[in-house]
Amino acid sequence: MPPINLYSDTQTRPSAGMRAAIAAAEVGDEQRGLDPTTLALQERVADLLGHEAGLFLPSGTMCNEIALRLHARPGGDEVLLDRTAHPVNSEAGGPAQLAGLMVRVLDGSRGVFTGLQLEAAVRPAANRYMPRSRLVCVEQTSNLGGGTVWPLSAVRDVLEVAARHGLRTHMDGARLMNAVVASGVAASDFTGGFDSAWLDFTKGLGAPVGAVLVGSRELIAEAWRWKQMLGGAFRQSGIVAAGCLYALDHNVERLAIDHSNASVLAHGLAGLPGVDLDPASVQTNIVMFAVDDAPGLVARLADRVEVQAFDRHRVRAVTHLDVSRDEVERALSAFAEELG
Ligand SMILES: *Cc1c(COP(=O)(O)O)cnc(C)c1O
Find the 108 Cα to ligand 1 centroid distance in Å.
19
Task: Give 53-100 pLDDT, tens digit per residue.
Answer: 999 999 999 999 999 999 999 989 999 999 999 999 999 999 999 999
Output the ligand 1 site: residues, CB below 6 A: 59-61, 64, 86, 139, 143, 172, 174, 200, 202, 211
CA 141 to ligand 1: nearest atom:
13
pLDDT value at residue 126: 84
Confidence at residue 88, expressed as pLDDT on a 0 to 100 scale: 98
| DSSP-H helix ranges across the chain | 16-23, 36-48, 60-71, 86-89, 94-97, 115-121, 152-164, 176-183, 187-191, 217-229, 238-250, 255-270, 294-301, 325-339
Co-location of 163 and 306 in the same domain? no
Which domain CATH number covers 314? Answer: 3.90.1150.10
Bridge partner residues of 200 (DSSP): 211
- Shared domain for 237 and 260, answered yes or no, is no
Q: Same domain, yes or no, for 158 and 299?
A: no
- Ligand 1 centroid to residue 60 C-alpha, Å: 5
Same domain assignment for residues 335 and 222: no
198 falls within a domain: yes
Is position 7 within any domain? Answer: no
- Closest residue to atom 6 of ligand 1, CA basis: 60
Strands 53-57 and 102-106: unpaired
Q: What is the pLDDT of residue 75?
A: 87
Distance CA(241)–CA(199), nearest Å, equals 13
**Is 125 inside a domain boundary?**
yes
Boundary-marking domain end, from 250, 281, 316: 250
Is 5 within the bounds of a domain? no
Same domain flag for 91 and 159: yes
Spacing, Cα 318 to ligand 1 middle (Å): 14
Q: Check whether residue 187 and residue 262 sit in a common domain.
A: no
Same domain, 49 and 168: yes
- Of the three residues 234, 250, 266, the one that is the final residue of a domain is 250
Domain CATH number, residue 58: 3.40.640.10
Q: What is the pTM of this model?
A: 0.97
Asked whether residue 191 falls in the same domain as residue 281, the answer is: no
Q: How far is the CA of 129 from the centre of ligand 1 (A)?
A: 34
Specify whether 55 is located in the same domain as 87: yes
- Looking at the structure of the chain, the number of domains it has is 2
Nearest Cα to Cα of residue 187 among 150, 162, 228 = 150
The rounded distance, in Å, linking the Cα atoms of 246 and 265 is: 28
Collapsing DSSP to helix, strand or coil, 103 comes out as strand
Q: Does a structural domain hold residue 9?
A: no
- Determine which residue's CA is closest to atom 1 belonging to ligand 1: 174
Residue 10 lies in a domain: no
Do 93 and 109 share a structural domain? yes
- pLDDT beneath 50, residues of the chain: none
Say yes or no: 258 and 226 in one domain: no
* 273 within some domain: yes
Judge residue 24's burial from the number of C-beta atoms within 10 Å of its C-beta, 0-12 exposed, 13-18 middle, 19 or more buried: exposed
Kindly state whether residues 188 and 275 are assigned to the same domain.
no
Q: Please give the span between the terminal C-alpha atoms of the chain, in angstroms, as a whole number.
A: 22
Which one, of 116, 108, 99, 188, lies nearest residue 143 by Cα? 108
Amino acid in position 30: E
Exposure of 273 in the CB half-sphere (CA atoms within 13 A): 4
Centroid of ligand 1 to alpha carbon of 174 (angstroms): 5
Which domain, by its residues, includes 271? 254-339
